């Protein structure tokens, strides 16, 4: 049976799922929240106990004045040292923006990380961020003061964001309060600092622990030309492709995703 606990160290919110087994931390991508990994975490019980983190400027975690991967990684590391990783290193799984944060955390705080899983992102600048800029502009352009119900937001976003699944994912960030609707994510900062989010800071360290790279078969974010950068920073890298998956590997192919984590993280106990 799962247990849930929240922590407020460094104003980061997290939820724990499971009460036994090796410890694994999940870091979500842009627009996401820790709870996006809830079903994955439940499927990994009882062998793994999970911590689902809301990254800064997302979910119930605090907003910051600016964005940087090193700074974000340090905040998460401080949060882990104060609680979930207080007794020793943990496994770390990060998707997209969370994957870059996880890479930085492993490079900057290797004592905290046993095994690292990077999901559909590479340690390089992504190039064009036009798709995400469009999504952020669409959300920011929504007049929240005129919404009477959540369905109104979905209807008004249907034209600029035609994919119903993407709209549903984004609208997880919409909260109803006593003063009306508001965005839980820090849209202003995410729009302003999108080039930083799409970028990758220089790193002169290496992480010499096992690393699994999971790429979506239909996604462009992990390419053969990125492999040199991966292996320079993470020499013990193994690459795997999840068939039938796009960028959101864990939601598009959850069974394959869970299976890959079980094999890779289970090997740590052997």
Domain boundary among 163, 192, 221: 192
Domain boundary among 142, 169, 192: 192
Residues 120 and 222 in one domain: yes
Domain, as residue range, for 261: 9-126+199-269
**pLDDT greater than 50 at residue 6:** no
Model pTM?
0.93
Q: Which of 66, 119, 69, 74 is nearest to 92 (CA)?
A: 119
Residues 41 and 122 in one domain: yes
Output the six-digit token pair for 239.
Answer: 């690459």
Residues 16 and 120 in one domain: yes
Q: Which of 178, 158, 179 is nearest to 170 (CA)?
A: 158
Residues 104 and 163 in one domain: no
Torsion angle of the four alpha carbons 249, 68, 116, 4, in this order, in degrees rounded to the nearest 10: -80
Q: Specify if 4 maps to a domain.
A: no
Domain count, the chain: 2
Residues 122 and 134 in one domain: no
Q: Specify if 222 maps to a domain.
A: yes
Question: Can you tell me the distance from the alpha carbon of 237 to that of 231, in angstroms, rounded to the nearest whole number?
Answer: 6
**pLDDT greater than 90 at residue 100:** yes
Q: Specify if 2 maps to a domain.
A: no
Q: Specify if 3 maps to a domain.
A: no
**Quick one: pLDDT at residue 268?**
59
Q: What is the pLDDT of residues 124-172, one digit of tens each?
A: 998 767 788 999 999 999 999 999 999 999 999 999 999 998 899 999 9
Catalytic residues: 96, 188, 247
Q: What is the pLDDT of residues 41-73, one digit of tens each?
A: 999 999 999 999 999 999 999 999 999 999 999
Q: Specify if 211 maps to a domain.
A: yes
Q: Specify if 243 maps to a domain.
A: yes
Question: Can you tell me the distance from the alpha carbon of 44 to that of 269, in angstroms, rounded to the nearest whole number?
Answer: 14
């Amino acid at each position: 049976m799962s247990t849930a606990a929240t922590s407020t160290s460094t104003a980061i919110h997290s939820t724990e799922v499971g009460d036994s087994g090796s410890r694994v931390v999940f870091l979500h991508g842009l627009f996401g929240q820790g709870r996006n990994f809830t079903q994955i975490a439940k499927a990994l019980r009882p062998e793994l106990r999970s911590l689902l983190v809301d990254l800064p400027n997302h979910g119930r975690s605090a907003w910051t004045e600016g964005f940087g991967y090193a700074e974000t990684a340090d905040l998460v590391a401080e949060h882990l040292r104060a609680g979930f990783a207080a007794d020793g290193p943990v496994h770390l799984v990060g998707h997209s923006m969370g994957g870059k944060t996880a890479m930085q955390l492993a490079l900057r705080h290797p004592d905290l990380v046993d095994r690292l899983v990077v999901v559909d992102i590479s340690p390089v600048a992504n190039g064009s961020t036009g798709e995400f800029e469009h999504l952020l502009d669409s959300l920011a352009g929504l007049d929240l003061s005129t919404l009477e119900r959540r369905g109104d937001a979905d209807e008004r976003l249907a034209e600029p964001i035609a994919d119903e699944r993407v709209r549903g994912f984004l609208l997880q960030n919409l909260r109803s309060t006593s003063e009306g609707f508001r965005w839980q994510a820090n849209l202003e900062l995410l729009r302003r600092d999108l080039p930083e989010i799409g970028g990758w800071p220089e790193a002169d360290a290496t992480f010499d622990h096992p690393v699994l790279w999971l790429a979506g078969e239909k996604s462009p974010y992990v390419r053969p030309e990125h492999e040199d950068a991966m292996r320079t920073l993470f020499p013990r890298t193994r690459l795997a492709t999840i068939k039938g998956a796009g960028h959101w590997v864990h939601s598009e192919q959850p069974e394959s995703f869970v299976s890959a984590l079980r094999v890779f993280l289970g090997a740590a106990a052997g």
